[in-house]
Amino acid sequence: MAPEALYIHVPYCASKCLYCDFDSRSCRDAAALDRYAAQLSGCLRALGERGALAGCRTAYLGGGTPSLLGDRLPGIVRLVRACCPRLVELTCEANPESMGDGLAGALAAAGATRVSLGVQSLDDRELRALGRLHSSSRALDALDAVRAAGLDASIDLMCGIPHQTSDSWRATLEAAVEAGAGHVSVYPLTIEEGTPFARRVAAGALPEPDEDLQAWCMEEARRVLGAAGLTPYEVASYALPGKECRHNIAYWTGVPYLGLGRSAASMLDADAYRSLRGALGLPAAGGRASRLRFVQLGDGFPLPPAPAGDGPGYEVEELDAAEAAAEDLMLGMRMTRGVDAGLLARTADVLGAAPVEAAVRRALDRGLAAWREEGRGRRLAPTERGWLQGNELFSIMWDLASGD
């Protein structure tokens, strides 16, 4: 199948946060941002002319900090719209400090439908500890601007960060609800190798995140956000009815997607991979590949042809039919709704009914999943325990690929 979701990576930030290991670099050079916007635009036009993006239903500009592009960003949004005529959702990530006057309105006018703000906390002391550039008041002002422009507003929040307490976490959640966020993603802080936080932990200057506090924070988020009508639809995200991020859902439901930009990830079936191989400069696929995942390693964009030495380059993972089927089950169990009987039946056709039934029984017996009635059918969905012990549940499904 052709790509149905498009991800574009903007690898620039105003500064690098102390905890961040994402592929991004600090950049305040207008000429570098101009070059990036021009190269991306050329690639999008070339793919659009080939019809490669005609099937895309969602697009997501992430990073890094796409809003750092300033008035270049609405032009890119308009171009994405032109190249992806079937879009129903277009999201731009932004940081509060780079949501300048008028940017939200310009994005809405260009065709964006959502803005995802990297808020992380609404406590100024916690924001300083993370190395964030914005204040809590600036974050709330940016959220107001997004909503005033008629865009759906999403925010990211982080728990288990330095100086955070149960009271400050609850206050952040309540402030987010009061400010009118329609979508909230909640993540526990992890100490990633190579970051300033990792060096501070190694030196004894910063404690490891308190896992008990993080678990409580995740449960409290479910309680506070749920009471405000934001229900969890996947393991890390909550939304008001109709405000779920369709692009997020695409990742967990086997929808083929294409990523552009350094470190951007893609997932295509073998036929779509072969059809785009020449345009993207991808290596040949093996004969047994059913699904291919690939990550761009280099700078630049494949179309128009990149200058010598500036090609994209890729790391490619080939999945056979069994691995693709097991992956669909594993990813589907990230969703609160779980997986339907149809997906289980299709998986059984590939992997065999007995192994799939045994995996389902293990998940049920361990209290990680339960059957839930829905309409005229039923779905296998994660329980509260399965939500908190997701790695165990995901492992049960993924092990089907190897017959374990």
Contact 229/184 with Cβ under 8 angstroms? no
pLDDT at residue 75 is higher than 80: yes
Which residues lie below 8 Å from residue 395, measured CB to CB, with a gap of 6+?
A: none
pLDDT, averaged across the chain: 94
pLDDT at residue 307 is higher than 80: no
Query: How far is Cα of residue 86 from the mean position of the Cα atoms in its chain?
Result: 21
pLDDT at residue 168 is higher than 70: yes
Q: Quick one: pLDDT at residue 312?
A: 85
Mean pLDDT along residues 305-314: 71
Mean pLDDT along residues 114-143: 97
Q: Locate tokens 């190798």: which residue? A: 193
Q: Quick one: pLDDT at residue 23?
A: 87
pLDDT at residue 310 is higher than 80: no
User: Which residue segments constitute the domains of the chain, with CATH numbers given?
Assistant: 5-249 (3.20.20.70), 261-319 (no CATH), 323-402 (1.10.10)
Q: Quick one: pLDDT at residue 160?
A: 95
Q: pLDDT band at residue 309, thresholds of 50, 70 and 90?
A: low
d(CA 113, CA 90): 5
Q: Quick one: pLDDT at residue 1?
A: 63
Q: Which of 25-39, 56-70, 342-356 has the lowest mean pLDDT?
A: 25-39
Q: Quick one: pLDDT at residue 374?
A: 85
pLDDT-above-90 percentage for the chain: 88
Q: Quick one: pLDDT at residue 68?
A: 95
Q: pLDDT band at residue 387, thresholds of 50, 70 and 90?
A: confident
**What is the b/e burial string over 305-317, where b = at least 16 CB atoms within 10 angstroms of the residue's CB?**
ebeeeebbbbebe
Mean pLDDT along residues 117-135: 97
Q: Quick one: pLDDT at residue 403?
A: 76
Angle between helices 136-148 and 103-110 (to 10 degrees): 30
Q: Quick one: pLDDT at residue 22?
A: 87
d(CA 11, CA 66): 8
Q: Which of 11-25, 84-98, 243-257 has the lowest mean pLDDT?
A: 11-25
pLDDT at residue 308 is higher than 70: no
Q: pLDDT band at residue 326, thresholds of 50, 70 and 90?
A: very high
pLDDT at residue 311 is higher than 80: no
pLDDT per residue over 2-26, tens digit each?
Answer: 999 999 999 999 999 999 998 888 8
Separation of first and last alpha carbons in the chain:
30
pLDDT at residue 306 is higher than 70: no
Q: Quick one: pLDDT at residue 303?
A: 85
pLDDT-above-70 percentage for the chain: 98
